[in-house]
C-alpha cells in the first residue's frame, strides 16, 4: 500500500538525517554544515484557516481585536498524510495533519534548511 504524503506549506520540506546534525546549546538550535537529506517533499500549495476580526473592548486604553475562526480549507480526500503549518494544525482535528518537528538550521542558526521529522497533530 502506498501512503500519499502531501506538503501544504509554501516551501519544500527537507527531512535531514540526524547523524548530520549537531545541537548548538549556545543558540538552542539544531544546525548542520553538511546536511544529509533523506527526502524532500515539494509544496502542493497552501491550506488556509479563515478568520474574522472584530473589535474587542480596550484593555487599559489599548485597542483589542477578537480573532474568530470562520472556516478552514479541508485536507484533500486522496491525501493520507498532510504536512501543514502550525496555525492550520492548531485549528484542525483531522488525524491526517502533521507538522515539521525539530527544525534544522544552517551554521549561522538563521536559516531553516530542513527538519528531523514530521509530527502528528493531536488537539485535545
- Are 15 and 38 in contact by the 8 Å Cβ rule? The answer is yes
pLDDT, one tens digit per residue, over 69-98 is 999 999 999 999 999 999 999 999 999 999
Model pLDDT, residue 1:
81
What percentage of the chain exceeds 90 in pLDDT? 94
Model pLDDT, residue 96:
96
Q: How far is CA 116 from the centre of its chain?
A: 13
Residue 104 has pLDDT above 80, yes or no: yes
Model pLDDT, residue 54:
94
pLDDT, one tens digit per residue, over 16-46 is 999 999 999 999 999 999 999 999 999 999 9
Single pTM value for the model: 0.86
C-alpha cell at 81: 498524510
Q: How far is CA 18 from the centre of its chain?
A: 19
Confidence of residue 121 (pLDDT cuts 50, 70, 90): confident
Task: Determine how many CB atoms are found less than 10 A away from the CB of residue 99.
Answer: 19
Amino acid at each position: 500500500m502506498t501512503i500519499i504524503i502531501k506538503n501544504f506549506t509554501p516551501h519544500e520540506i527537507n527531512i535531514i538525517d540526524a547523524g548530520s546534525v549537531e545541537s548548538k546549546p549556545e543558540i538552542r538550535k539544531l544546525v548542520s554544515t553538511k546536511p544529509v537529506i533523506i527526502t524532500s517533499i515539494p509544496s502542493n500549495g497552501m491550506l488556509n484557516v479563515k478568520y474574522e476580526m472584530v473589535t474587542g473592548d480596550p484593555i487599559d486604553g489599548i485597542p483589542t481585536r477578537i480573532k474568530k475562526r470562520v472556516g478552514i480549507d479541508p485536507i484533500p480526500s486522496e491525501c493520507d498524510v498532510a504536512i501543514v503549518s502550525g496555525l492550520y494544525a492548531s485549528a484542525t482535528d483531522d488525524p491526517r495533519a502533521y507538522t515539521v518537528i525539530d527544525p534544522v538550521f544552517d551554521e549561522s542558526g538563521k536559516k531553516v534548511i530542513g527538519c528531523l521529522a514530521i509530527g502528528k497533530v493531536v488537539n485535545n
